Chain A
Amino acid sequence: MPGDSSPREELAKLSARPVSKGHSPCPRFLPTPAYRVDTLLQTLKDGLTIGSLYALIALGYTMVYGILKFINFAHSDIVVLGGWLSLITATAIVEKLGLTPGQIPPWWVGPLVLLIAMVACGIIGFTIERLAYKPLRRAPRLNVLITAIGVSLFLQNTGQLQFVFGTRPRAIPQLLSDQTLLQIGNVHIRLLDLVVIGTAVVLMVGLEWLVFHTKLGRAMRAVSFDVRTAGLMGIPVDRVISITFVIGSSLAAAGGFLWALSFTSIKQPADTSWVLLGLKAFVAAVVGGIGNVRGAMFGGLAIGMLEVFGQQYINPALKDVYVFAALIVVLLVKPGGILGKATVEKV
């Protein structure tokens, strides 16, 4: 008889019911209670963080494509380099200051690490362009593309040597205090979140200003429009290309630094997660309209949001599918990208 069981047994039965009903056949697809405001806020925050990082990295792809019309496959490896260089400089500085783990270093350590990483990667980007791409300026585009893959492999495999970065995942020391600035329900808005998003936004606004409001920016846009004519008009094409690489690489370094800061533990340079990060940033650039600076920023945010929202509200297992499905849809519907202009490919 049902009435025979004690209240405790009833309770146990009740609490056990969702398990037997909802979980056993296909437990992963249980929908999250969408009405929870803090879940929505958390997702928005994550989307904004990831999206701004994608945007920073996408800028490098789009700038190089805009000018040289080739995909710089080594770009994601510059991101890795930026992340690892910041990890190593941060560790060295923290050690030099004699801080114990958990102690927060002074405020200037973060910006200093970022600056070092950006400058170092800028120099490396410049060198790569000079050594690998410049000799191929007049070669068919395919040659440059293959060279880019070669550079990428070189950076990956050099990076995973034991005396360079090694193969072990490592964590960047804590550079910012962990305090919560604002708490809404279960969502903690931390100093770190603001710093990551803020730095990304500042860098993007800076680039926007550089491209559209300076003489150098005008030169870059001219070279992107037509390399030969720009050269005939007296624009130092080689120098502009070099500067583009330096800027793109420093933005990638900043992306790597912020990535390490957000997710703390980073993996070795040849890890597949980096390849995927680069691919997604590349997708962001294409979705926004490759060759278009504003498009890359928009595409980065859109891809970041799409990924995180799909993961939270549809099915987390398919998170990469959303990103690449978006790419296919955009290529079918608006091949030039959402903010890009449709161009006829000269064959």
Chain B
Amino acid sequence: MHALISRRPVLSFVRTLALGAGLGLAALTGCDSGTSPSNANAGKAAPSGTTTSAAAAPAAAGDIVIGHYGSLTGSKATFGLSTDNGIKLAVEEVNKAGGLEIGGQKHKVVLKSEDTEGKQEKAGTVVTKLITADKVVAVLGEVASGITLAGAPIAQQFGVPMITPSSTNPQCTAVGDMIFRVCFIDPFQGYACAKFAAQDLKVKKAAILFDQAAPYSVGLKDEFESNFKKMGGEIVAIEAYTEGEANFNPLLTKIRERGAELLFIPGYYTDVANIALQARKLGMKMPLLGGDGWDSSDLAKNGGAAIEGSFYSNHYASDQPTPEIQNFVTKYQAAFGETPDGLAALGYDAARLLFDSMQRARSSDGSKVRDAIATTKDFKGVTGTISINEKRDAVKPAVIVEMKGGKPVFRARVEP
């Protein structure tokens, strides 16, 4: 046990050192390119895989600087990277059109991305840095609700508007009047899953396997359980795992003995592929159902045939034939060479909603932009039409997708 105890402080100490070095480097490159005349076009470079703040173009006077904090490295890096790509695409579009027009003047938009490494304790530091050092006018992020809850109070305290693209826990926007979101919330997602299971799949007996350490997973489990029971279904087993588990056999064996027709797994994609593979090996053939935590191209890559025929609720389906979605998918594929997942779409929507609000506010001043975001109505986003309600949450439908041929395919739509 000494190992565990002695390891942590050293770990964070070394990280702090590394961070310090990173910041120093960022500052150096910032000064350096600020004095060189050749950097006028830096912001117009094509979006690339680089994600550190050192790589972002320095802001000139009159530029609008926005910040993004996300898990660009760490175990759920696809979440942060996808969101970052979505935001980059939106920024790129605005800059290609000559900049964001606010009150008759065009301003170039500069994006500063900071890495949370998927850790709650880093959120405060990076949001403070974005606001105080980079002087951002608005903050976008995080994906995981737990990290958003750590970053939001800082934005609130500095009076900088913040939009989380994809944190679904209801608490996130309750932090203060500066905090918004463009995604639906967990109670609705749990309801959507339960409704789909009970009324579309006509399942009577369901089992739940959830991550007991993730607020997201626990919240979804509670909502699914109560809604599914209300709709006349029966929950025959509830088992809990902790993120990082490799052997799910004991839990799955218990579930198998109870004759469930559906297994609800409100976890993250990092664990779901393993659960699916092990369940199939145990001879369990029932469909699996999950939430937007499943949404990653890695799910099908790692789960293979085991994940086929399973369902999850999501913010959008890339195969829906609406022009907004198809336009976005084509542009995203051209820029990044892959099909955008729901998080990329939400990142794109969050950035565009922010730009739209700035234009409506005719200012980039924090409180004016805040008021404009709060009064957003029927904003046409990729992930549906977004209206912001009095709780600063987005009201919008959820989509249920089915895994078919290694791709999520639109299956049903659940209205709020």
Contacts and interface: CB of A to CB of B under 8 A. Distances in A.
Contacts of A320: 242
B49 interface: yes
B3 A73 contact: yes
B77 to A, nearest CB: 4
Contacts of B301: 170-171
Interface string B92-128: 0000000000000000000000000000000000000
A311 interface: yes
Contacts of A339: none
B257 A36 contact: yes
Interface in A72-124: 73, 101-102
Contact of A28 (B240, B246, B305): B240
A167 B302 contact: no
B205 to A, nearest CB: 9
A343 interface: no
A276 B244 contact: yes
B403 to A, nearest CB: 15
A271 B7 contact: no
Interface in A233-272: 259, 263-265, 267-268, 270-272
B283 A312 contact: no
A162 B52 CA distance: 13
B250 A169 contact: no
**In terms of DSSP, what is the predominant structure of the interface of chain B?**
helix
Given A32-B254, A39-B257, A169-B270, A19 B298 contact: no
Contacts of B75: 167, 169, 267-268, 270-272
Interface string B68-87: 00000111011000000000
Interface residues of B, number: 52
Interface in B242-271: 242-247, 249-251, 253-254, 256-257, 269-270
B137 interface: no
Given A19-B235, A169-B298, A265-B273, A160 B244 contact: no
A46 B253 CA distance: 11
B5 to A, nearest CB: 11
Question: Which of A15, A168, A170, A178 counts the most chain B CB atoms within 10 A?
Answer: A168
B244 A316 contact: no
Interface string A173-201: 00000100000001010100000000000
A168 B73 CA distance: 9
Contacts of A263: 246-247, 274, 278
Given A146-B10, A149-B10, A188-B281, A259 B246 contact: yes
B234 interface: yes
Contact of A46 (B4, B238, B247, B277): B247
Question: Which of B10, B237, B249, B282 counts the most chain A CB atoms within 10 A?
Answer: B249
B1 interface: yes
Contact of A23 (B11, B235, B257, B273): B235
A28 B238 contact: yes
A317 interface: yes
A258 to B, nearest CB: 12
A42 interface: yes
Contacts of A316: 239-241, 250-251, 254
Contacts of B245: 273
B212 interface: yes
Contact of A73 (B7, B238, B246): B7
Contacts of A65: none
A36 B277 CA distance: 23
Given A23-B235, A170-B298, A273-B244, 18 more contacts: A16-B234, A23-B238, A28-B240, A33-B257, A43-B250, A46-B247, A153-B11, A263-B247, A265-B302, A265-B303, A271-B244, A273-B243, A273-B246, A308-B247, A311-B250, A316-B250, A317-B240, A327-B1
26 contacts: A19-B234, A19-B236, A32-B257, A33-B257, A73-B7, A149-B10, A153-B11, A160-B73, A167-B74, A167-B75, A169-B269, A170-B298, A170-B302, A171-B277, A171-B302, A178-B281, A186-B253, A263-B278, A264-B273, A264-B274, A264-B277, A268-B74, A271-B75, A273-B245, A273-B246, A316-B254
